Amino acid sequence: MRFSNSFLDEIRDRVPISDVIGKRVTWDRKKTNASRGDYWACCPFHGEKSPSFHCEDRKGRYHCFGCGVSGDHFRFLTDLDGMNFPEAVQQVADLAGVAMPQPDVEAEKRDRQRIGLQDVMEVATQFFEAQLQTANGAKARAYLRDRGLTGRTIETFRLGYAPESRNALKEYLAGKGVPKDQIEACGLVVHGPDIPVSYDRFRDRIMFPILSSREKVIAFGGRAMSPDAPAKYLNSNETELFHKGNVLYNFARARRAMSGADGAGTIIAVEGYMDVIALHQAGIENAVAPLGTALTENQMALLWKLTQQPVLCFDGDGAGIRAANRAVDLALPHLKPGFSVRFAMLPDGKDPDDLVRNEGRAPFDKVMAQARSLSEMVWLREAQAGSFDTPESRAQLEATLKQVVSVISDENVRRHYGQDVRDRLNQFFQGASRRENGQRGGFDRNPRQGGGSRNGGQGRGGQQGARMSERSGISDRLARSSLVSGHQALPPLRESVLALTIVNHPQLLFEEYDEISAIDYDNRDLQRFWSSVLNAAAAKGPRLSREILVEQLEAEGFGDLLKSLDQQIRFARLWTATTAAAPEDAREGYLQALALHQRTKALLWQRRELESELAYATEEGDDDTVSQILRNLQEVQLEVARLENQEAIIDGFGVLSGRVKGPAGK
C-alpha cells in the first residue's frame, strides 16, 4: 500500500521521535536537554560506551556521530527492528492515535499527480534561473545588484526572471512535452472559460521560488520590474501543491539553521522575501516570511512546531504596528504553557533589508535583543490608546484588558495573564495618582488622610505590602529586596556577577554552554546585554577572548553598562568576577552565584503563585485556604532567611561565600 506524504507527515508531527527511540535506548542525563527536545544516548546500532547517538524532536531525525546512521521514525523501526515499511507506519500511527488510511485509488492518483506537478515546477524554476542570465534579464540583475545581493545569494535562493513575453514559459514547457493541463494545474498560466488562449501568469518579474518543507518548489512569488504593474508582488494562485496560508517562505532552510550557531534556537518571522534574503546574506539564516498576507493561524502553528518562542519582526511604521497588533490577537487564543511569541519592532521607516544592507548586522541584533513579550505588547497597545486621568477611563482600561485576556483558551495561561494585568494596572494607576496628587502615595483607601498615608507615604501599594508583611510574616527586608521588588537602577548583584564573570572569563561559557546560555535575567539591560554575548559566542566559538568580546559589546553600545557592572563588582569586593581571578576561582564563584540565582528565581515564582492564590481565596472568602497560603508564604520567608544566614546575595549586599577569598587571602 502506498501512503500519502500528508499522512506520513501528520503522524510524524504528532509523535516526537524521542518517544519512538526512547523505548529502545536509555537517554544520557548529562547531555540530554529534554525541555528543548534534544536527546543523547549510546547508539543502539553499534556498541559504544559514550553517547554519540543524537535525536532532535524538532527535526524528527536521529544521527549517530560514531557509525553515521541517520533517519526518521520509520527508518529507525525498519533498520533496528527489521520491520517492513507498512509495519513501521502502523506502529507510529498507533502511537499518534491516528487510524491507518484505507486504500484510496483516487488519493494515490492525486499523489502521483502532485509528484508530476513538482517536476513541472522544477523545470519552470530552471527556466527562470536561466532567463536571469540572458540579455533579457539584464535589468533584473541590475536591480538585484543594487539591492546588494551577491551572486552566491542569488544562486542559493534560486532567483530568476520571467520575460515580458506573454507565452515565453508556456511555449518552453510545451517544447519539453509538458501537457497543457499540468501547466494549468501548476498555476503557471492564466486560463479559464472566459480566456480563449491562456498566457503566462508571471511576466517581467523577478522570480522567487517558494519551497515546501521537503524543499520542493511548489509556487512562485514575482516582483514586478515595471513601476506601472498593477501589483508590485504577485504570488502563485492556490493549487494542488500550494496553499498560501499554510506555507512560510524559507521554512526548510530556517529550520536547518536553527541548529547552527546563528540560529540561537528561535525563528524570526519578517514581512517579505527580500527581508529574508538580506538577513540570510548578513548571516541570519533563521528567518521566514508569510507570503504577502498577514500571518495566519496555520503559519503560527508552523512557527510553534519549530520553537516555543518565535520572534515576530515588524517594520516600525504605522503599517508595521498594525500588523503587530493583528499578530497579538492571532496568537492570544492559542497560547499554551511555555508557548508564546515575542515582538521585535524596527526603527520607524526601516525594514530588515534596509537595516542590514546599510548598517550591517549589529543594529538588527540589537533590535532582536530588545524584543518584547506578548504580555508587554498587549499592555502597550491598550495603555497607550488614550488618556486615563479619570476613574471611568481607568475602569474602561481594566475592562478592555480583561476582555483581551479572556480569549486565551488555556486556563493556567489565562490566569497568569490576569495576574500580570492586575500587577501592571496597580503600578500604572499608582503612578497616575502620584502625578495627580504630587505625592508618593497611590489611591488612598482613607479619604480623611487627604490622599496621603500614615505609613510613610506608602499609599495603597505600600499599605497592601505592609498588610501582607504583617499577615504573612514576610520581613521588611524581603519586601524591599530585589527578590520581590521591581527592577533597580543597577541589576541585582548576583546577576551582575553572572554577566561580568563570563565577560572576563568567556571560556566558562563553553564548559556548560546549555545551562549558562539559558540563564534568564530579570534586569532588562542585562537581557539585551546577554543576547549580544551569546551572539558573539556563536560567531567565534571557543576562540572567543575577553578582548574580542569587550570590543564587540562596546561597539553595540554596552560600554557604559560594562563600566557600571565593573564598579558594582569592585565595590562589593567580589574579585572572582574580575579579570584578576584565576580560572578555577572564577568558576567556583560563578557556580555559587548561579545556584543562588536559580534558587532566587524559584522563590520569586513560588511567591507570585502564592500571592495569586491568596487573592483568589480572599475574594472567595475561603478562610481555611487563606490561612494555609499564609503559612506557605511564611515558609518562603524562612527559606529566604536561610539564604541570608548563609551570606547569600539579597538586594546587592553580602558576599558569595565565606570560603571564597580574594588574592593573597584578602
Query: For residue 184, what is its C-alpha cell?
Result: 494549468
**Which of 248-252, 463-467, 539-543, 650-654 is predicted least confidently?**
650-654
**Which of 263-267, 441-445, 548-552, 644-648 is predicted least confidently?**
441-445
Decide which of 475 and 514 is more confident. 514
Average pLDDT over residues 14-30: 92
Decide which of 597 and 450 is more confident. 597
Residue percentage of the chain with pLDDT more than 90: 39
Question: What's the pLDDT at 266?
Answer: 85
Of the pLDDT bands very low, low, confident and very high (cuts 50, 70, 90), residue 656 is very low
Question: What's the pLDDT at 109?
Answer: 61
Of the pLDDT bands very low, low, confident and very high (cuts 50, 70, 90), residue 67 is confident
Sign of CA dihedral 542, 548, 554, 556: negative
Is residue 249's pLDDT more than 90?
yes
Question: What's the pLDDT at 434?
Answer: 56
Calculate the average pLDDT of the chain: 81
For residue 289, what are the β-bridge partners?
249
Question: What's the pLDDT at 511?
Answer: 79
Question: What's the pLDDT at 401?
Answer: 94
Question: What's the pLDDT at 628?
Answer: 78
Question: What's the pLDDT at 489?
Answer: 52
| CATH architecture entry for 251-379 | 3-Layer(aba) Sandwich (3.40)
- DSSP at 491: P
Taking the C-alpha atoms of residue 182 and residue 58, their distance in angstroms, rounded to an integer, is 35
**Which of 29-33, 172-176, 262-266 is predicted least confidently?**
262-266
CB-based contact 442:429 (threshold 8 Å): yes
Question: What's the pLDDT at 145?
Answer: 93
Taking the C-alpha atoms of residue 411 and residue 660, their distance in angstroms, rounded to an integer, is 46
Decide which of 606 and 345 is more confident. 345
Average pLDDT over residues 342-350: 86
Taking the C-alpha atoms of residue 460 and residue 450, their distance in angstroms, rounded to an integer, is 13
Decide which of 128 and 353 is more confident. 128
Question: What's the pLDDT at 50?
Answer: 86
Residue 474 CB neighbour total at 10 angstroms: 20
Nearest to 274 by CA among 347, 355, 187: 355
Most distant CA pair in the chain, distance: 94
Q: What CATH number has the domain spanning 105-242?
A: 3.90.980.10
Average pLDDT over residues 619-641: 72
**Which of 58-62, 210-214, 390-394, 479-483 is predicted least confidently?**
479-483
Of the pLDDT bands very low, low, confident and very high (cuts 50, 70, 90), residue 641 is low
Question: What's the pLDDT at 476?
Answer: 40
pLDDT one-digit tens code per residue, 525-535:
888 898 888 88
| CATH architecture entry for 5-96 | Alpha-Beta Complex (3.90)
End-to-end CA distance of the chain: 77
Average pLDDT over residues 1-25: 87
Question: What's the pLDDT at 604?
Answer: 67
Q: Would you list the DSSP string of 1-19?
A: -PPPHHHHHHHHHHS-HHH
Question: What's the pLDDT at 265?
Answer: 65
Nearest to 503 by CA among 551, 541, 568: 551
Taking the C-alpha atoms of residue 182 and residue 180, their distance in angstroms, rounded to an integer, is 5
Tell me how far CA of residue 574 lies from CA of 482, 500, 567, 582, 651, in angstroms.
Answer: 19, 11, 11, 13, 15
Tell me whether strands 38-41 and 61-64 are parallel, antiparallel or unpaired: unpaired
Is residue 652's pLDDT more than 50?
no
Q: Look at phi and psi of residue 113 and say left if phi exceeds 0, alpha if psi is from -120 to 50, else beta.
A: alpha
- Strand (E) positions, 481-594? none
Question: What's the pLDDT at 517?
Answer: 75
Is residue 58's pLDDT more than 50?
yes
Decide which of 149 and 105 is more confident. 149
Is residue 194's pLDDT more than 90?
no
Q: How many CA atoms lie within 13 A of 160 on its CB side?
A: 22
- DSSP at 90: H
The type of residue at 162 is: A
Of 568-577, 615-624, 642-651, give the range with the top mean pLDDT.
568-577
Is residue 442's pLDDT more than 70?
no
- DSSP at 312: E
Can you list the alpha helix ranges (DSSP code H) found in 308-451? 318-331, 352-359, 361-369, 374-383, 391-405, 411-437
Is residue 351's pLDDT more than 80?
yes
Question: What's the pLDDT at 204?
Answer: 96
Question: What's the pLDDT at 462?
Answer: 42
CB-based contact 516:502 (threshold 8 Å): yes
Domain ranges of the chain: 5-96, 105-242, 251-379, 493-645
Of the pLDDT bands very low, low, confident and very high (cuts 50, 70, 90), residue 390 is confident
Residue 427 CB neighbour total at 10 angstroms: 13
Taking the C-alpha atoms of residue 512 and residue 276, their distance in angstroms, rounded to an integer, is 32
CB-based contact 33:56 (threshold 8 Å): no
Of the pLDDT bands very low, low, confident and very high (cuts 50, 70, 90), residue 71 is very high
Taking the C-alpha atoms of residue 346 and residue 313, their distance in angstroms, rounded to an integer, is 7
Q: Is 165 helix (H, G, I), strand (E, B) or coil?
A: coil
Nearest to 314 by CA among 285, 296, 289: 289
The total number of residues shown for the chain amounts to 666
Is residue 441's pLDDT more than 50?
no
Residue percentage of the chain with pLDDT more than 70: 81
**Which of 97-106, 385-394, 435-444, 558-567 is predicted least confidently?**
435-444
Question: What's the pLDDT at 433?
Answer: 57
Is residue 136's pLDDT more than 90?
yes
Tell me how far CA of residue 237 lies from CA of 163, 178, 218, 244, in angstroms.
Answer: 19, 19, 11, 8
Average pLDDT over residues 32-37: 87
Residue 345 CB neighbour total at 10 angstroms: 19
Question: What's the pLDDT at 631?
Answer: 78
Q: Is 447 helix (H, G, I), strand (E, B) or coil?
A: helix
Question: What's the pLDDT at 113?
Answer: 62
Taking the C-alpha atoms of residue 382 and residue 218, their distance in angstroms, rounded to an integer, is 40
Is residue 469's pLDDT more than 60?
no
Query: For residue 239, what is its C-alpha cell?
Result: 493549487
pLDDT one-digit tens code per residue, 139-191:
999 999 999 999 999 999 999 999 999 999 999 999 999 999 999 999 999 99
Output helix, strand, coil percentages for the chain, rounded to the nearest 5: 55, 10, 35
Question: What's the pLDDT at 28?
Answer: 92
Sign of CA dihedral 532, 537, 538, 539: positive
Query: For residue 222, what is its C-alpha cell?
Result: 514575482
Average pLDDT over residues 561-576: 85
Of the pLDDT bands very low, low, confident and very high (cuts 50, 70, 90), residue 358 is confident
Task: Count, in order, helices (H) and strands (E) of the chain.
Answer: 28, 15
Question: What's the pLDDT at 335?
Answer: 94
Tell me whether strands 342-345 and 372-373 are parallel, antiparallel or unpaired: antiparallel
**Which of 109-118, 169-178, 410-419 is predicted least confidently?**
109-118
